[in-house]
Structure 1
């Protein structure tokens, strides 16, 4: 298997977690299979000073780095006017040529915005920067609250930990949910949050679990909605009988465990559609398995198909910003 090359552009003032988090996700995937080659790149091939003050060495200068399957542009706590320099823009433009996927983390979106590649597209960044991004680049449809957004081959994410969510989503696209799940487990993080999930609140909008036992089971389902859960397996996870678990779910969440799994899958599928995933991709990632199963869930809950929902969402958000 040929490893997919991941090019990460770093620069003076780069936020450490913005590039280390996603990079570690790709590197961890190599524990399962020869998946990725991660290459740190700077504009001139020299080490850079990170947000925590220490230097980080790089492998290549952008002009000598060659082509990458995926390019990652992290952000900075510095104002964009200070880190989006002509040198950084030239390096980013060089790396973006011919790449299959172009991604930004946090305020790295300002680099892509200055290159013009986000014009006419949906994009996001950390909530601290969304208003400035929308104001400075009115041609971009800024999503002010999403964890990450995909618009065709260009991905953008909110800051810091959201870069891990995006990287896990990319691994899942490349090698499937099982590999992404193993990476998440190894890094002691949940499977990635859905892209359309709010930067501030959990995707769950219904009743919240009150007891630690129900919360434990609910967290398991949210962490990996695509897993083929059974009531017996969930009850075993909680170390109670299926009957007792069902009684607790009815009391606290007004649903059976099976109904709750379906609800979680619906919420994740909805967020994936909001983030720009296709109907087939959203159905697979959320655990419905087929577009038809997802369609039935949407019609039951919203009275419209997933396709019509996505069309309404896109038309409703075009005026945002």
Structure 2
């Protein structure tokens, strides 16, 4: 049975909040050879909608005429700079309240969560948004249980996601819930995406988030480290590669990243071990995983996971490995 998916746009919305999920659903149609999803773009009036990038979108449906589409399975609200103006539109909030009583799944991408929250549709639910705006969402709406670093959150039929590309993760999770992991995997491969970035994982890597703080030769060195974290990377060789002394290299790390070369490299390798762990169909032996990423032995890897992620590798795998993703998909499907 075909499901009707509506993405809701408005002037100055984020282009990728619309085009990202749209392409995921459209690719599912193409790869399956069937119209699994009927896609519609809704705006105040049909026609051109200017996005924040300047590239216009073409809406085929008016907000007030959604009932003409028949039963709507999923309604996703885009975010973007224009959300502030839309929050002052009581008629739009009324549309969302009306749709909430009819659609199977109601969700948002990025700051679109503020529109759902203004309409009172997230009260009592867990929700997330772009990390930059989570504090404001929690402050403005104390009845909403904000999850500040999740990629996406499902809460009794309410779907919220973090900024921009997290909408793609959310769309993939819906395809997996509707039609299984095989099709979702095909879509992910076709679009060169990760299939499994579980919603409970952090919106961004702490190491990568700090990378933009580096400049000049140190930034070049970080690019080198990220290209091959499992290489030996001795301090002397790293310093020589950018023409400085080991002492000066350590000073650059402290000044620009507030850490040491060794600590940065350990965290980078731990990130890679974490990704390898959750990508494994079965839990890999910890000693092998530790050796692969030059993190000592199994016990040292356990201590590093506990220190940086607050749980053991075993518990992390249970929460975010493939079996956890399957459980999330079942929850979404039943929601």
TM over 0.5: yes
The answer to whether structure 1 residue 72 and structure 2 residue 76 are counterparts is yes
| Matched residue, 2:113 | 109
Compute the RMSD of aligned alpha carbons: 3.7
Per the normalisation by structure 2, the TM-score is 0.66
In the alignment, what sits opposite 2:124?
120
Cα deviation, 1:166-209, whole Å, max 9, x if unaligned, reads: 11111111111111111111111111311111123279xxxx98
| 1:17 match | 16
Name which one, 1 or 2, has greater alpha-carbon Rg.
Answer: 2
| Alignment of 1:249 onto 2:292 | yes
Alpha carbons of structure 1 residues 176 and 9: separation in structure 2 relative to 1, 3 Å: same
Structure-1 separation of matches of 2:289 and 2:135: 45
Is the 8 Å Cα contact of residues 62 and 95 (structure 1) preserved in structure 2?
no
- Looking at structure 2, the residues matched to 55 and 264 of structure 1 have their Cα atoms a distance apart, in angstroms, of 46
Is the Cα contact below 8 Å between 1:122 and 1:140 reproduced in 2? yes
Instruction: Give the corresponding residue for 1:267.
Output: 316
Q: Is the 8 A contact 2:290 2:297 kept in 1?
A: no
Please name the residue that 2:134 is paired with: 130
Q: TM-score, normalised by structure 1?
A: 0.68
Cα deviations by residue, 1:102-144 (Å, 9 ceiling, x for unpaired) = 1111100011101111101111100111111111111111111
Structure 2 Cα separation of the partners of residues 165 and 120 of structure 1:
24
Output the CA distance in 2 between the equivalents of 1:184 and 1:250.
26
In the TM superposition, what whole-angstrom CA distance separates every residue of 1:200-233 from its partner, at most 9, and x where no partner exists? Answer: 3279xxxx98426999x958846744x46999xx
2: CA distance, partners of 1:93 / 1:174: 25
Q: Which has the higher helix share?
A: 2
- Residue in structure 1 matching 2:84, options 81, 84, 87: 81
Residues of 1 paired with 2:174 and 2:94: CA distance? 25
Alpha-carbon distance in structure 2 between the residues aligned to 1:5 and 1:68: 5
1:169–1:268 distance in 2 versus 1, CA, 3 Å: farther
SS in 2 for 1:71: strand
Work out the CA distance in 2 between the residues paired with 1:286 and 1:90: 30
- Consecutive unaligned residues in structure 1, runs of 5 or more: 232-244, 273-279, 288-321
Q: Distance in 1 between matches of 2:99 and 2:38?
A: 15
Asked whether the 8 Å contact 2:97–2:119 carries over to 1, the reply is: yes
**CA-CA distance at 1:54 after TM superposition:** 2.9
**2:230 aligns with one of 211, 215, 225:** 211
Mean Cα deviation higher: 101-110 or 59-68:
59-68
Q: Does 1:50 align with 2:69?
A: no
